[in-house]
């Protein structure tokens, strides 16, 4: 009887849903891992990983994606930190409008963003009512495409970077910091770079890692803008290979896990989600 009473105290349904959820999380990952290890018939090996990582095309596209991610993070920080700072300090009436802009990417999915970008920037910039061309279409040359795709990625990461930085600034009281810095004779750039930036570094790190996770595997902007990035490479590889794509998918998962794990560590549980699908 006592045993039965104790059994009743076990939160049966909680365990049921937990197990169901955990199965949903892990079965696809396990299946991918299992499949990726079976390239050599009849035994478990890392052959698929060796093959995938040794492909020069992989190295090129992955390196390129990392370059794009780093550039996106730099531009995002340069854009978001002064803006969030200024809005907090001098321009609270702009808050609603700035927040509206940072939420726009939730309403304009990547596929629509790239649609609009291509339509705007695939024609040359001319002086109105003349045929004098100021600039070639951005989509026509490499630097132009890079500008477009990095700009697009900054947009995709904007909600996370802005929210992260803004929350960071709320917790450190930027106003007092600024007054302290300026009463010691610091000018504006010094204040931002030497005082504000170090104080929101946790927020910057988590915003950057989320941006990194979005950019490295991104496929929509990259494929429509015709950029040789990792996302389109993985997609094409999946068309004619079996084991290597599984290996790279699992590796991508580990990379996402690393990024999220670090965010979890530095922010102490203020987990976020990007939703760039």
Partner 1 sequence: MENTNLSARKNPAAPMNWKHWFGVLPFFIFAILFLFLPSIRLFVGSFTDNTGKFTFDNIQQLFSQRVIVDAYKVSIELSAMTALGGGILGFMLAYAITIGGLPKFLRPALITFSGVASNFAGVPLAFAFVATLGRTGFITAILKNVFHVNIYQTGFNLYSFWGLSLTYMYFQFPLMVLIMAPALDGLKKEWREAAHNLGANNLQYWLKVAMPVLMPSILGSIILLFGNAFGAYATAYALTGGQLPIVTILIGAQMRGDVLHNPGLGYALAIGMVVIMAVSLLGYSWLQSRTERWLK
Token look-up 């999380």 returns 25
CA distances from 141 to 33, 136, 218, 225 (A): 40, 8, 21, 11
**Judged by CB under 8 A, does residue 228 bind partner 1?**
no
Q: How far is the CB of 54 from partner 1 (least distance, A)?
A: 19
Which span (41-49, 52-60, 61-69, 232-240) binds partner 1, by CB under 8 A? 232-240
CB of 261 to partner 1, least distance (A): 6
Nearest distance from C-beta of residue 135 to partner 1, angstroms: 13
CA distance 121 to 123: 5
Q: Which stretch binds partner 1 (CB under 8 A): 39-47, 55-63, 196-204, 259-267?
A: 259-267
Torsion of CA 17, 276, 255, 35, to 10 degrees: 60
> What is d(CA 72, CA 61) in angstroms, rounded to the nearest whole number?
16
Q: How far is the CB of 207 from partner 1 (least distance, A)?
A: 14
Tell me the closest approach of the beta carbon of residue 12 to partner 1, in angstroms: 10
Is residue 134 helix, strand or coil? strand
Residues 6+ apart with CB under 8 A from 72: 150, 153, 154, 157, 211, 215
Binding characters for partner 1, 47-86, by CB under 8 A (x = yes): --------------------------------xx-xx--x
Is 234 an interacting residue with respect to partner 1 (CB under 8 A)?
Answer: yes
Site string for partner 1, 108-127 (x = CB under 8 A): xxxxxxxxxxxxx-------
Among 44, 91, 125, 180, which residue interacts with partner 1 (rule: CB under 8 A)? 91
Please check whether residue 214 is in contact with residue 157, taking contact to mean a CB–CB distance below 8 angstroms: yes
Cβ contact 67:216 at 8 Å: no
Q: Using the rule CB under 8 A, which residue among 18, 59, 125, 135 binds partner 1?
A: 18
Restricted to residues 138-197, the positions that interact with partner 1 (CB under 8 A) are 151-152, 154-155, 170, 175
Q: Which residues contact 228 (CB under 8 A, 6 or more apart)?
A: 60, 61, 64
Number of residues near partner 1 (by CB under 8 A): 93
Among 43, 142, 240, 277, binds partner 1 (CB under 8 A): 277
Handedness of CA 275, 163, 71, 135 (dihedral sign): positive
């Amino acid at each position: 009887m006592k045993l039965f009473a104790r059994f009743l105290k076990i939160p049966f349904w909680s365990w049921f849903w937990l197990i169901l959820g955990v199965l949903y999380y892990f079965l696809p990952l396990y299946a991918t891992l299992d499949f990726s290890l079976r390239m050599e018939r009849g035994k478990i090996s890392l052959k698929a990983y060796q093959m995938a990582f040794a492909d020069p095309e992989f190295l090129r596209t992955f390196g390129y994606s990392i370059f794009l991610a780093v550039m996106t993070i730099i531009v995002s920080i340069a854009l978001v930190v002064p803006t969030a700072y200024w809005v907090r300090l001098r321009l609270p009436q702009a808050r609603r409008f700035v927040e509206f802009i940072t939420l726009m990417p939730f309403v304009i999915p990547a596929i629509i963003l790239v649609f609009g970008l291509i339509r705007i920037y695939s024609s040359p910039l001319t002086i109105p009512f003349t045929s004098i061309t100021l600039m070639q279409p951005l989509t026509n040359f490499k630097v132009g495409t890079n500008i477009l795709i990095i700009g697009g990625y900054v947009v995709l990461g904007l909600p996370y970077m802005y929210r992260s930085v803004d929350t960071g600034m709320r917790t450190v009281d930027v106003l007092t910091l600024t007054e302290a810095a300026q009463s010691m004779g610091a000018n504006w750039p010094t204040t931002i770079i030497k005082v504000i930036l170090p104080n929101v570094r946790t927020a910057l790190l988590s915003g950057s890692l989320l941006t990194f996770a979005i950019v490295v595997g991104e496929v929509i902007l990259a494929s429509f803008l015709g950029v040789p990035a990792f996302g389109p490479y993985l997609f094409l590889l999946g068309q004619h290979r079996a084991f290597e794509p599984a290996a790279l998918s699992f590796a991508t998962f580990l990379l996402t896990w690393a990024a999220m794990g670090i965010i979890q560590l530095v922010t102490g549980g203020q987990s976020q989600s990007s939703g760039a699908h």
